[in-house]
Amino acid sequence: MSTRTLLTLAQFDALPRVEPKKYELSEGELVMTASPRPLHGIVREKLGKSLIIFADAHHLGSVFWEMEFHLSAETVRIPDLSFVTSERMRLQNIDERIQGAPELAIEVVSPSNEPSDLILKAKQYLQTGARLVWIVYPQTQMVYIYRPGERVEIREDGQVLDAPELLPGWSIQLGELFSVSRS
């Protein structure tokens, strides 16, 4: 039986960062993730661009790609995409790691992701202030939507993904999000 080696935040911060791996800290446990595959990148890029264009045009907040969020003393997570409101960004020291979860955390699933890890991430985001978490499954073309205190909602091809509580007026057709051009 193996034992887990737990790290403090200071030990985590002192780790050398070696590409193409990224490190997260989950309740004191070091988690390394591999570089994503093309499908993951295509879906993340489409979703990220759509969110950035809308959020910028309406001055709603900032959309980040793989930004570190200090969720608790033992947890630092890096969602694939995240959204933080303008109000909160005005209070944020932009030279420091963001404290707490983003208002919207988005994880785009790769084949190497474990379902239990994704559920834990969603729980951690929600427990530290996220208002919305999307777990995006490119392979099955589905999005699992988590909100505090509510049941998980599932949207799939033919439906629309939106976030009226954070990005009123923004939406994307899931068929458009998951379409992949091979030209």
Q: How many CB atoms lie within 10 A of CB 39?
A: 16
Residue 78 forms part of a structural domain: yes
For the chain, list residues with pLDDT below 70. Answer: 1-5, 7, 12-21, 23-25, 34, 181-183
C-alpha torsion 32→36→42→46, nearest 10? 0
Residue 74 sits in a domain of what CATH number?
Answer: 3.90.1570.10
The pTM for the full model equals 0.83
Residue 87 forms part of a structural domain: yes
134 vs 146: CA distance, rounded Å: 6
CA distances from 102 to 65, 138, 141, 146 (A): 12, 22, 24, 13
Residue 25 forms part of a structural domain: no
Neighbouring C-alpha atoms within 13 Å toward the C-beta of 39: 12
Cβ neighbours of residue 137 under 8 Å, at least 6 residues apart? 109, 143, 144
Task: State how many domains the chain has.
Answer: 1
Residue 153 forms part of a structural domain: yes
Residue 60 forms part of a structural domain: yes
Residue 1 forms part of a structural domain: no
> Which tens digit of pLDDT belongs to each residue from 137-148?
999 999 999 999
Residue 174 forms part of a structural domain: yes
Q: How many CB atoms lie within 10 A of CB 78?
A: 20
Residue 20 has a pLDDT of 47
Residue 24 forms part of a structural domain: no
> Which tens digit of pLDDT belongs to each residue from 149-163?
999 999 999 999 999
For residue 92, give its domain range: 37-178
Residue 17 has a pLDDT of 57
